[in-house]
Every structure is written in C-alpha cells, then in structure tokens.
Amino acid sequence: LLRVLVLLKTLLITSAFCSRHSVVRTSAFRRTGKAHVRMSSSLSALPELCVFDLDACFWDQEMYEMPSIPTPGDVVLGDLNGRGNGVVGVMSGGNKISLHKGSMQALQDHADNKYPGMKVAFASSADTPFAEKIGRASLKLLEVLPGLTVWDLVVGRDWGGNDINQIGRQPPLSSNKARSHFPRLKQESGGIRYDRMLFFDDCNWGDHCGMVSQGCREADTKQGPATVRTPAGLSLKLWQEGLSTYAAQAKRLQSA
C-alpha cells in the first residue's frame, strides 16, 4: 500500500510539472507569434520617410556657390514634366536652380498619392547660414505641379505646416548627418524608425550614405535607412533603384 501511495504521489508531481511547462512554452510561443505578426503587419514595400539631400542630388546646384537668395521675381517658367506650366527654375544671380528629373518625378508621384504612407523630408549640410536661406527660399518657389511648390507639398501637406527639414550645419546640426540630421529627423517625425527610411545623397563631398546606414541603426533589427548614392544627381533610374532597394530591405526584415 505504501508503495502504491508513493507511486501515485510521483505521478501527480510529474503531471503537474509537465502541465506547467507546457503552459509556459505555449504562452511564450503565443507572445512570440504575436510580436512577429505585429512586426510583419507594420512593414511595407514603401518607406515611411523618404529623405533627400539637396545640393547636387535633389537639384542641380550647390547652394554655397549661389550669390543671392531667390525671390518671386527670379522664377523661371516652363513645362512641369508634361503636367502643365509652372516654376521650373529659380535664378540666383546668373545661376538657375532646377530639380533633377528623378526628383521631379518622385514628388509628382508623391503629390498624386502613388506612395501611400510615405512622407518626405530633406537633410542637407549646407555650408553657411546664407546657403541655408537660399535653399529654403528655393524650396518655397520651385513647383511640383502648377501652383504647388515643393514646400507646399512637403512641409504643408506631409507635416501639416511643421518644418522638420534638417538643412545646414550650424548647431545643433553638423557636417555629419548620421550624428545630427537623422537623429533629429527621427525625433521630429514622431519616431519613424531608421529602418523605415530611404535616403538619397550625392556623396561627392563625403560618404553620407555610408555614415547614415552604419551610424543610424535600430537596436532590434540592426538595420539603418536604405541608401542610394546620386553622384550626378537624382535620375529617374536612381529613383526607381531607391524604391527597389528599400523594398528588398523591407522584405529581408519581414522574413527575419
């Protein structure tokens, strides 16, 4: 009888242990599963934030070389990529500032809501406060569609009038976009993750793409922004390459 009682007690203890262990494993699996679904559902083939450098990338001039701040009297009218007539350039002295073809197409498509969930911002290390003023003035004059300026689209529509663009290198900015521009963009955008960003930069004066992709990484995915170098300015081909590069990165993160 005593042996029977001992055997029953052992069986009861073993059963209870197995039951608890099963519950823990099941619970952990459920938590992991939910986390995975949450991450997967938040990923998109499109970036949440597309960031453009300005000089020699978004447009065709270097602001530090420009002699004057453009005014409404300095606009150049012309065809906006087949979408009607508007401001295709602004004059700074004898220099015309115009968008590269890829920049124009990107913003026209953005204005047409072809990239749902995506917003746009600028990260430029303009050399001087005067160069920064030239850049901001140009953004407020150059048009994407007739009557719609770059500033109207990016600052007005995307950010509700809040200028989150990081232009210049005066404190708190610096010449290193990974240390100043992108952390501020993340903060002022409401916390858009680095691995949900796409960044274009000419990289002619330093490898900003490399510095940003290496220096601005998320702790959980170890991934930074998708980047594309545009040494001759943003072409149509490079714009499409950027979208493909980001989509491939998002796919890798989703399957991880």
Q: Which residues of the chain are under the pLDDT cut of 50? A: 1-41
Over its C-alpha atoms, the chain yields an Rg (Å, rounded) of 26
- What is the predicted pLDDT for the residue at 30? 36
Burial level of 73, CB count in 10 A (0-12/13-18/19+)? exposed
- What is the predicted pLDDT for the residue at 234? 98
- What is the predicted pLDDT for the residue at 42? 56
Q: How far apart are CA 131 and CA 125, in angstroms?
A: 10
Tens digits of per-residue pLDDT, 125-182?
Answer: 999 999 999 999 999 999 999 999 999 999 999 999 999 999 999 999 999 999 999 9
- Classified as helix, coil or strand, 40 is helix
- What is the predicted pLDDT for the residue at 98? 98
Both tokens of residue 217? 């990484």
- Strand locations in 20-132, DSSP E? 49-52, 75-79, 85-92, 95-97, 119-124
For Cα atoms 232, 234, 240, give the angle at the middle one, nearest 5 degrees: 130
pTM value > 0.85:
no
